[in-house]
Structure 1
Amino acid sequence: MTRFDDHDTVWLFGYGSLIYKTDFAFLERRPARLRGWTRRFWQGSHDHRGTPDAPGRVVTLVPRESAICAGVAYRITPAIFAPLDHREKNGYLRLATALTLDDGRDVEGVVYIATADNAAFLGPASKQAIARQIAASHGPSGPNRDYLLHLADALRELGADDPHVFAIERELLALVQRTLA
Structure 2
Amino acid sequence: MTADLVLPDPDTLLRAVEEPVARARPVLPKDRDWWVFGYGSLMWNPGFPHHEGRSALLRGYHRRFCVFSLRYRGTPERPGLVLGLAPGGACRGMAFRVPASEGEEVLDYLWEREMITGVYRPRWLRVDTPQGPAHALSFVADPGHGQYCRLNAENTAALIRQGVGLRGPCRDYLINTERHLRDMGIRDRMLSRLIDLLEEPNPDKR
Common fold, TM-score beyond 0.5?
Answer: yes
Quote the residue 1:100 is aligned against: 128
Q: Distance in 2 between the 1:175 and 1:16 partners? A: 26
What SS does structure 2 have at the residue aligned with 1:23?
A: coil
Identity of aligned residues (%): 29
Mapped pair 1:116 → 2:134: no
Quote the residue 1:69 is aligned against: 91
1:4 aligned residue (28, 35, 46): 28
Mapped pair 1:133 → 2:159: yes
- Give the ranges of 4+ consecutive aligned residues of structure 1 lying more than 6 Å apart after TM superposition: none
Q: After TM superposition, give the deviation of residue 7 of structure 1 in Å.
A: 4.2
Gaps of 5+ in 2: 1-24
Larger radius of gyration: 2
What SS does structure 2 have at the residue aligned with 1:73?
A: strand
Quote the residue 1:17 is aligned against: 41
What is the correspondence of 1:29-178 to structure 2 with a 5 Å cutoff?
A: 29-64=53-88, 67-77=89-99, 78-79=103-104, 80-89=106-115, 90=117, 91-103=119-131, 105-123=132-150, 125-175=151-201
Gaps of 5+ in 1: none
Give per-residue Cα distances to partners, 1:86-112, cap 9 Å, x unaligned.
100241231110010123x01111101
Q: CA RMSD of the aligned region, Å?
A: 1.8
Kindly tell me the number of residue pairs found equivalent between the two proteins: 175
Give per-residue Cα distances to partners, 1:121-143, cap 9 Å, x unaligned.
122x1211111111111000100
TM-score, length-scaled by structure 1: 0.90
What SS does structure 2 have at the residue aligned with 1:111?
A: strand
**1:118 partner amino acid:** H
**2:69 partner amino acid:** S
